[in-house]
Amino acid sequence: MPEGDSVWRAAARLHAALAGRELTVWDMRVPRLATTDLTGRTTLEVVPRGKHLLARFEGGLTLHTHLRMDGAWHVFAAGRPWRGGPLYEVRAVLGTADRTAVGYRLPVVELLRTADEDRAVGHLGPDLLGPDWDAERAAANLLATPKRPLGEALLDQRNLAGIGNVYKCELCFMAGATPWTPVGALPDAPRTAVRLAAAAQRLLAANIGPGEGRNTTGSRRPGRALFVYGRPGLPCFRCGAPVRKADQDDRPTYWCPRCQTGPHPD
């Protein structure tokens, strides 16, 4: 599933292509929106909210989409061939005189009144890349269920919005705790939770610009961009112990058995 930084970049691309321009194409290929028509309206902005995308149009309407595991938005010059999958996977098309945005495999496509956006995103915690970011509030959300495993709590978008499985694993490594460690069992849990929330925001913010993939270590050496994610059996960069892998809530999860303390499936 795309994480908050990827969704932020997608919103930026859509905003650059559509904002301030009149829609010449509105093609919703989902049954409940098939008869809607917003052509002639101007796109006001496209903004991310956690892992959600909100395209706002004049007249007080918002197109809400979510990428989940396989969805993607691609932007093409008007008249150019589309590349992103077969046509039967297209769920939404937004076009202007010079750009066409095509949404592939979108599992969530709904048209809302802008005033009712909270129906779609009001449950989310502070957005790591949004104007409402608040590390103290995010930490309080994490600590509200002290017996919950840290990895699960970090992925819960109601606590803080934008973290996915990659950042979950990397943040647990940086905190020196396994993803199965109860939040309340973290050393000096209140301060640690605030530091962890702040670190999450810094990591995502550092990865929203153009670059060659996600980086959490700060290293530019090939193969050293991530501490533990996707590195099972390889030596930990800090201690040399083999990185371990196990599932947590059906997601592949990685940790260093020497650098990270706490419970684990083995």
Residues annotated as catalytic are 2-3, 51, 251
Query: For strand 99-104 and strand 72-77, is the pairing parallel, antiparallel, or unpaired?
Result: antiparallel
* Bridge partners for 110 per DSSP: 64
Residue 195 burial by Cβ neighbours in a 10 Å radius (0-12, 13-18, 19+): middle
- Measure the CA–CA gap between 34 and 204, rounded to whole angstroms: 36
- Measure the CA–CA gap between 37 and 100, rounded to whole angstroms: 16
DSSP secondary structure letter of residue 38: -
- Measure the CA–CA gap between 57 and 19, rounded to whole angstroms: 9
Instruction: For tokens 């932007």, name the residue.
Output: 75
